[in-house]
Every structure is written in C-alpha cells, then in structure tokens.
A and B are shown apart, each in its own frame.
Chain A
Amino acid sequence: MSEQHSFGEATSDELWEAVARVAAGEATPREQLALRAHLEAHPERAALLDALDGAVNRYAAVRPAVDVEAALVRVMARRDRRPAAQPAWVRPLMRIAAVLVVALGVSLLWRTIRSPEPPLVYVTAAGQSRTVMVADGSVIRLGPGSRLAVSGDYGRPSRQVELQGEAFFEVRHDAEHPFVVRTATAEIQDLGTAFMVRTGPDRVTRVAVTEGVVGLSRPEAAPDSILRAGDRGQVDAGGRVSVLRRADLGAELAWRQGRLVVQELALAELAPEFARWYGVTLVVRDAGLARRRITATFPAGAPDDALRILGAALGAEVRRTGDTAVVLRRQAP
C-alpha cells in the first residue's frame, strides 16, 4: 500500500507533525516532497516556517556547548575529595568557644530568672519622721518628706542606701562592709559614725557629723574630704565639696526633736522645707521678699502657727488657701 501525502486540507496538528519529522530527519522522501509541495502552495506558511527556522538557528549559534558527561565527572571528583587538614589548635578552640557560648546562655538565663532583690524603700510624708533599724543594727532616723532606699543586697558586700530628703544615721561600723549613703550629688562613707545627711531641690547635699568620721565625695569618687565630729560639709550641684570645721550643728539636728530650725535662710530656700514639713507650698512673687532671710524655729505639725511666725518675722502678709500660702510684702497702713 503506497502512502499518499498531501497537506492540502491538513489540520494544523498534521502539518506541524510533518514539519517536526522533516526537521528531525525522520521524514520519508515522499513526506518531504509532500511538505515542499504544500509550502509552495501556501507561501504564508512557508514564510512562517522560514522565520521559525531562522530563530532556531540564531539560538543555536549563541548557545554554549554543554558537555554533560564532563560536568558529571567533575562533580563526582569534588565529592570524593578529602577535606584539607586543619591546624591542631582549631579543634580545642572550637570546643572552648562552644563552652563559652553555653556558659553565656546559662548566665543570661540565670539573670533573667533571678532578678536582683528590690530595695526596701521607706518614705515619710510631710511633717512626719520615722526610725528605721536595718539588719546590721544601724539606726536611721528619716526626716519629714524624705525617701530612703536600702539596697536589696545590703551588706553583700557593701551596705548602700540612697537618700532624698533628710536622715540621721547611727551606723554600726564594719570595715568589711562599708556603709555608704548616696544622694543625687554626693557619696558619704561611714568610718564609724553618727551623722546627718540632707538633700534638697537645690541639689546640694549637706552633711553634719556628730560622732566619728565620714568621708565625703562626689558620687563614684574617692573621698575628697574627711569630716569629723562637729564638722559640716556639703557637695553642691556642680560637685564642689566644702567643709566648715567645728560648726554649730544645732539647726541641722533640731529636726530630730520635731522642730524645723533655720538660721539666716532666704525665704526662697525655706519654701522647699515648708513643703517637706507641712505640705504647704510657699508662693513668693516679690523677688526682694524672696531674698529676705529668716532665723526661726518652727513647730512640727502646726502649719498655721509656722506661717504666722514666718509672716511676723518677715513683716509680711501670708494668705493661705489649702496647700498654698502666698507671702506678700505688707502694705503700709
């Protein structure tokens, strides 16, 4: 049975199959002739095949030749190659690094689980005072409007407290566990002592020593000055340390008897003391009056009496409304 090949009415699939067979060299001579006749009869299809043939030839021209077998041989050789010999110190070093990483991880985990013990905080309200006895037997008398934080690790190894306001310390000396009072501007280290520390809004730390010796310095610094019994020292907001030897400490220590004693203190500087002792805010709008000084002893727990004494001594008028007292220059009659 002879084959009759004609693509006169051929479907697209039949035509493309014939084209593929011719291109692959698998077509019979008859099929090649039939395809050639068809393309001569359909020049648009011939043009399409020419364009396709040109594109294929251009791709073949630029495609790099890939030798698959050679590539496979190279990969196998690389797989079987032995690793280069490492220096002898590398392996111990890697072990040490691994141990350090594990230790660091455990440390971080321990710190996370065991947070530092919180400090014990004692606060006094305006006009109040209280006595605190700490674990080592030291006694701290906290003044009005003050805050004392006893470190959570007190005594391990040092005994550290932080103070805002006023306190009197009677410290049981222990050279192995130094007692340190920190304020915003100063550090006071006990050397076997009873002493008073007072801080205020002016960021000045004042220290009065009644017994023994203390070292006075700026925070985190070696003691700048040694204060002995009867000495008064201070560290101002700029970190400057000054000392007055054999001072009159009566005013500094009177608060322990429940009295606010001031000596030649400007009214503007007295205002924060009134806030601590009486919870009363003094408002002084007259600059000259604010600079006027006063020497006085004010009773605790009696803000109206204190304001009357203040006004009388200054020759001023004091108008109190709630927790605010306005101090005015007295008008001439």
Chain B
Amino acid sequence: MTVARVAAALLLTAWPSSAGAQAGCPVPAAEASSQRWPAPLDRRVSLRARDISLRDALDRLSAAGRTPLAYSPDLLPLDRRICLSARRALLGDALGALLRGTRLRPSVVAGQVVLVPVA
C-alpha cells in the first residue's frame, strides 16, 4: 500500500517540457501525503494534462474520481494555467496538489467532496 502511494506521488509531478512551453504553466508539486482520506477522496485517479485552467483541471478530476465537487469560484484562481500528471493517485492527494497556494482544502461534507476554505 505504501509503495503504491509513493509511486502515485511520483507520478503526480511536473509535466516535462521545455521552459518556453511551460511559461505560465506552473506545476503543482504534489507529494503523497500520509493523510487517510475519507471516501470518496480515497479513490484512485489517473490524469495527465498540460496548460489547462484550474477550472478544467477540477472538472477532469471530478470526472476521473466519479464524484462532483462543490466550491466557490470566487475563492479560487480558476483561470490560472496549470499542468497535471497523476497515475493512480488518491483523489484527495491530487486535489491537494491542485489547491496548493490557495486557502482551500479538500474535505467531505454530507458524502460530497467540498473544497473548504480554511482559516
């Protein structure tokens, strides 16, 4: 289990590309956390995308995890360009990586994934 999480974390890393192509596409430095995610954040997701908006990335993770996401767009830089590569990563870890630098963290409320603002 631990080996699988480490492998997933290694895959949830930067999309290799030239510096020019990556300008404006900062890569979330995802790491496998030791956190135990509640369902459905414990689902495995695989996703690979480059230079997409955070809005699109959230939509794709929602589809990959087969679960809707609830959040306030006013609390997120949804138009920020990002790159993402995840292979069998936990949905919670993938979302945590995407949300790095924001005030939101993934959580489960009433069985649904909610990106909750933290103080």
Contacts and interface: CB of A to CB of B under 8 A. Distances in A.
Nearest to B109: A312
A313 B74 contact: no
Interface in A278-315: 292-297, 299, 302, 304-306, 308-309, 312-315
A294 B114 CA distance: 11
Contact of A296 (B70, B75, B107, B116): B70
B21 interface: no
Interface string A47-85: 000000000000000000000000000000000000000
Contacts of A264: 73
| Interface footprint category on B | 10 to 19
Given A292-B74, A293-B74, A312 B114 contact: yes
A294 B75 CA distance: 10
Nearest to A265: B73
A226 interface: no
| Interface footprint category on A | 20 to 34
A314 B72 contact: yes
Contacts of A314: 72
Contacts of B112: 296-297, 299, 305, 309
Contact of A315 (B69, B73, B111, B116): B116
Nearest to B112: A309
Contacts of A305: 110-112
B118 to A, nearest CB: 9
Contacts of B115: 313
A312 B75 CA distance: 12
B117 interface: yes
A17 B107 CA distance: 130
Given A294-B70, A296-B68, A332-B119, A309 B75 contact: no
Interface string A301-333: 010111011001111000000000000000011
Contacts of A297: 68, 70, 112
A302 to B, nearest CB: 7
B109 A294 contact: no
A268 B56 CA distance: 25
A39 interface: no
Contacts of B70: 294-297, 309, 312-313
A292 B71 CA distance: 11
Contacts of B75: 315
Contacts of A293: 72-74
Interface of B: 68-75, 107, 109-112, 114-117, 119
20 contacts: A261-B68, A292-B72, A293-B73, A294-B72, A295-B72, A296-B71, A296-B112, A297-B68, A299-B110, A304-B110, A305-B110, A305-B111, A305-B112, A306-B110, A309-B109, A309-B114, A313-B72, A313-B116, A314-B72, A315-B116
